[in-house]
Structure 1
Amino acid sequence: MASAPKRPKAAAGSSADPLPAFLAWCGRAGVELSPKVRLSRAGAVAGYGMLAAQELEEGEVLFSVPRSALLSQHTSAIQHLLREAQESLQSQSGWVPLLLALLHEYTTSNSHWQPYFSLWKDFRSLDHPMFWPEEERTRLLQGTGIPEAVEKDLANIHLEYSSIILPFMEAHPTVFDPKLHTLELYKQLVAFVMAYSFQEPLEEEDEDEKGPNPPMMVPVADILNHVANHNANLEYSPWWDRHSSERLSSPCLQQCLRMVTTQPVSKGQEIFNTYGQMANWQLLHMYGFAEPYPGNTNDTADIQMVTVRKAALQRARSEAQQQLVSEQWDFLCQLEMVGEEGAFVLGWDEVLTEEELATTLKVLCMSEEEFKEYKEQDGWEDDSEEEENSTLSYEALSRLKTPCKKLLYDSVLLTLESYGSDLKAEQDLLNNKEAYEKLSQREQQALHVRYGQKRILHQLLELVH
């Protein structure tokens, strides 16, 4: 099965390909495209993509984008309005200034960015689960964690639009019109930012002080599709000299974002970028696609923390034992090992939240006397060997004490019950090419998410059985 695209893309017009006009805009904007690559629909896994026109070696620069060509709150025609109102535009997502810039630029016919926007006819074509009917979303994605994430997204979108966007538009009636800049358009632009924006990494000390950088749109870079086994990566050059606070002198070398190959690429082969180590549920939630098994080596499955509590309560044989489990859970909350909305994350080869899961299993399997002693030590242990064994890797799963293995086993079974179908039925569907091809695109993407998660969970069942 072919690798899945980062996201589907639609042309802006039915009669004319917008790509030539976009490439001409790139030339005017200072975007430098290597003659060894080409942008095309033909040969790409979906929509537009970047393909090697010649053989490429590792470390070759495919294109460079000057910072003046980035679309952000700092380059929009309304940047001065956004700067003046920056305090009132703060939000949980941190995306509001960019979204306001997009609302304006996308609906302004003479916008500098129109050739860029022309690559998309309708942002709904991204087909994020937020655009699916609720019934379909629940039916296809039950148990994956996506419906819950979408509900939070939609609630936040409505809150931001009503409490921040509308007041800003009302304060600038010559620039914005709520009849044109609607909640529905705002939701579509949120999906656009989810699927196409980039976020420049900060140094750790900067992130601690300021939080993450706001997102930005990077023309050309966002045309590349994504797979886990990618062959190119975006490099960020310093925006300024951290020591002198002066702008660096060479704009071509020092103020450009560059896409660079990470391995040799054959002529005609598609060039793929990466958005990081993302599980299939995250890819479908944020980008509208999932990678078919076994392509996504970064896939994960979650066991909700409250599911482990539920499994512990179910095995308690008396009211006193149930009370002990409740006290143990409360203590784990105090240690910040668990939370009502938290999850234990399992990868293909390791438990990504190993400390949290190891501590939770150990505490919930303690006797009343053991737990009393553990509490008196505030969760600390003097035994170095015990502390070493608290790290839970897949290699160590078979060495868990029997009560811990049983609790984990029961928790995995409860998690599998939350899905609407079993692993074998989905395996049969994936192996039946004719039946698979009859599925809608949404059904196929949801199947890849569910199947990968269940494979990881069943692998865990075998390890602790």
Structure 2
Amino acid sequence: MASETKRPKVDDDAPLQNFLRWCDKIGLVLSTKVQVSKVGMVADYGMLAQADIAEGEVLFTVPRSALLHQGTTHVSALPEREKVSLQSTSGWVPLLLALLYEYTTADSKWKPYLSLWTDFKMLDHPMFWSKEERDGLLKGTGIPEAVDKDLANIQREYRDVVVPFIVKHPDMWNTRTHTLELYTQLVAFVMAYSFQEPQAEDDDDDEKSPNPPMMVPMADMLNHVSKHNANLEFTPNTLKMVCVRPIKKGEEVFNTYGQMANWQLLHMYGFTKLYTDNVDDTADIPVVNLHKAATKEPDGDQQLLEEMWELLRDKGAFVFGKHGCLTDMELHSVLKMLCMSREEFLAFKDNNDGWEEDEDEDEDEEAISQAFSNDGLPGLKSKWKRLIHEAARLTVRGYADVDHDRALMEDQALLERLSSRQRNALQVRYGQKSILDKIMELTKT
């Protein structure tokens, strides 16, 4: 209907108004029941309901021709023709090359869209923080290590894959304009704003690579909450943002990035939620700390524990949420092994080819899940509780000053004086430590 294409009221924001005019030209249909704005949003741009919206109503429709990905840009032919040389661990190089070109080309078809981001550093991913800030503010959270790995991979990908391609095509790209700094910013842009189309339901090829990321104008305006009220649906010709629960006039329209702990939100998107509000928050207990806890047991066979460590060193970490362990089967297996006698361990190695086959096949998964829930932890065997308790305690020791963080969280005046980075880091640290504190409380012996 004609009324559906009427542009809603917007703020006095020239880039935003240019973007909305561009949306009209490319056939992106925006409902008159929503307003795109910076005012009153939880973060930068967002979408606000201008009238009550019923479940099932379409908030906007994006034609596939308006999607920005490696197949729709002016330079799509080159990356496709040379895709073998552009293979990388991330799989993002073709899209990033397209973004490098379109973002720096004055007459790009995508200019009104990309001009919404004049500086990608406003995303404030920890990759843009100084190493000193990351290591100081985020100590113990796992984020500094993840960012160091990201930056090393980005630098290697740019040096070994992107630069050789740019040198071959100087009429389209050049390393003076298309720098490592801009490439890194665009990686953050893709991390924060891209979408991936789900695999077709009838595609039963488990080894097939996931669909490459794409930029979806307008869909990336919506902010995230776990209990979202809108969802992006993919159809053969269009993508539609559909209301999945009633939205009242004046409420913000939210999409969701999935079940995301605060450390994941900060690492990938540059923001956090209040730790008390994030029902999906998690804390990791590294397997090394569980092994260290075992070595402190008075009856521990240190030589045997060293042999066990050879099998455990690649296990990573055990993930705990607000209601218990989310990797309960793995934790159950490791605890069983750490409590084995030498004879049992040798038999385990012989029968399981060094952990390749999980020995818990006959275990009741539901019972294990209950045993490692918050309700079940107090009822575990005494030794298992001691190991978990000590591993959690060792993990907490890896964070910054616990008492200082608690004082900050309890003093609103102090909180308000923190920078956004300090507040985000605090939400991550304190949320994780709160989960670990709960684990220690439940496993006291």
For residues 196-216 of structure 1, give each alpha carbon's deviation from its aligned partner in whole angstroms, at most 9, with x where no partner exists: 111111147466232111111
Residue 145 of structure 1: CA displacement? 0.4
Q: Does structure 1 residue 371 correspond to structure 2 residue 313?
A: no
**CA–CA distance in 2 between the matches of 1:345 and 1:388?**
17
| Backbone CA RMSD of aligned residues | 2.0
* Aligned twin of 2:256: 274
Query: 1:326 matched to which residue of 2?
Result: 306
Cα distance in 2 between the residues matched to 1:120 and 1:377: 57
Task: Tell me if structure 1 keeps the 8 A contact 2:48–2:251.
Answer: yes
Classify the secondary structure of the residue corresponding to 1:303: strand
Give, in whole Å, the separation in 2 of the partners of 1:225 and 1:383: 41
Tell me if structure 1 keeps the 8 A contact 2:65–2:72: yes
1 CA distance for matches of 2:361 and 2:179?
61
> C-alpha deviations, 1:366-395, integer Å up to 9, x for none?
222433444454377699578875554313
Moved over 6 A (4+): 379-383, 385-388
Give the whole-Å Cα distance in 2 for the aligned partners of 1:145 and 1:403. 27
Contact 2:287–2:315, Cα closer than 8 Å, also in 1 = yes
Task: Quote how far apart the aligned CAs of 1:356 are.
Answer: 0.6
Counterpart position of 2:385: 405
- The 1:348/1:16 distance shift into structure 2, 3 A limit, reads closer
Distance change (3 Å), C-alpha of 1:34 and 1:413:
same
Structure 1 contact 329–364 (Cα < 8 Å) conserved: no
**Which residue in the other structure is 1:209 paired with?**
207
Question: Is structure 2 residue 63 aligned with structure 1 residue 66?
Answer: yes
1:121 and 1:339 map into 2 onto residues whose CA distance is: 44
In 1, Cα distance between the equivalents of 2:287 and 2:382? 20
Q: Which residue of 1 aligns with 2:4?
A: none
Equivalent pair of 1:32/1:64 in contact (CA under 8 Å): yes
Structure 1 match to 2:167: 170
**Structure 1 partner of 2:83:** 86
Q: Bigger CA drift: 409-418 or 361-370?
A: 361-370
Name 1:108's counterpart in structure 2.
105
Instruction: Provide the residue aligned with 2:442 in structure 1.
Output: 463
2: CA distance, partners of 1:265 / 1:387? 39
**What's the TM-score once normalised by structure 2's chain length?**
0.91
- Larger deviation, residues 426-435 vs 277-286: 426-435
Judging changes above 3 Å, is the alpha-carbon distance between structure 1 residues 383 and 192 closer, same or farther for their aligned structure 2 residues? closer
SS of aligned partner of 2:35: strand
Check whether the contact 2:49–2:247 (CA below 8 A) recurs between aligned residues.
yes
Where does residue 298 of structure 1 map in the other structure?
Answer: 280
Q: Structure 1 residues 158 and 383, CA, compared in 2 at 3 Å: closer, same or farther?
A: closer
Specify whether residues 210 and 365 from structure 1 end up closer, same or farther in structure 2 by C-alpha distance, changes over 3 A only.
same
CA distance in 1, matches of 2:391, 2:359: 26
8 Å Cα contact 2:275-2:281 kept in structure 1: no
Match of 1:360 among 324, 327, 334: 334
1:432 aligns with 2:411: yes
Corresponding residue for 2:7?
none
| TM-score normalized by the length of structure 1 | 0.87
Change (3 A) 1:390 1:370: farther
State whether residues 34 and 62 of structure 1, in contact with CA within 8 Å, keep that contact through their aligned partners in structure 2.
yes
Q: Which residue pairs with 2:139 in the alignment?
A: 142
* 1:70–1:404 Cα change, 3 Å: same
User: In the aligned structure 1, how far is the partner of 2:256 from the partner of 2:363?
Assistant: 40
Aligned partners of 2:365 and 2:31: how far apart in 1? 54
Residue 195 of structure 1 and its aligned partner are, at CA, apart by 0.8
Deviations 1:442-463 (A, max 9, x none): 0000001111111111111122
Report if the CA contact (8 A) 1:158-1:183 is conserved: yes
- Once the 2 structures are TM-superposed, how far is the Cα of residue 341 of structure 1 from its aligned partner? 6.5
**Aligned with 1:255 (options 237, 257, 279):** 237
Q: Which residue of 1 aligns with 2:431?
A: 452
Q: How far apart are 1:327 and its partner, in Å? A: 2.0
Measured in 2, the distance between the counterparts of 1:449 and 1:417 equals 15
Identical pairs, percent: 54
Structure 2 gap ranges (5+): 1-11
Could you tell me how far apart the structure 2 residues matched to 1:341 and 1:109 are?
Answer: 49
Alignment correspondent of 2:229: 231
8 Å Cα contact 2:37/2:46 also seen in 1: yes
1:60 shift after superposition: 1.5
- The answer for unaligned runs of 5 or more in structure 1 is 1-14, 238-253
Distance 1:182 1:441 in 2: 28
Give the Cα separation in 2 of the matches to 1:137 and 1:235.
37
- Residues paired across the two proteins, number: 426
Q: Is the 8 A contact 1:36 1:56 kept in 2?
A: yes
Residues 155-166 of structure 1: pairs in structure 2 closer than 5 A: 155-166=152-163
Secondary structure of the structure 1 residue equivalent to 2:242: strand
CA distance in 1, matches of 2:365, 2:406: 40
Partner residue in 2 for 1:343: 317
Cα–Cα, structure 1 residues 90 and 121, in superposed 2: closer, same or farther, change >3 Å? same
- Farther-moved stretch of structure 1 (221-230 vs 150-159): 221-230
Aligned partner letter, 1:363: M
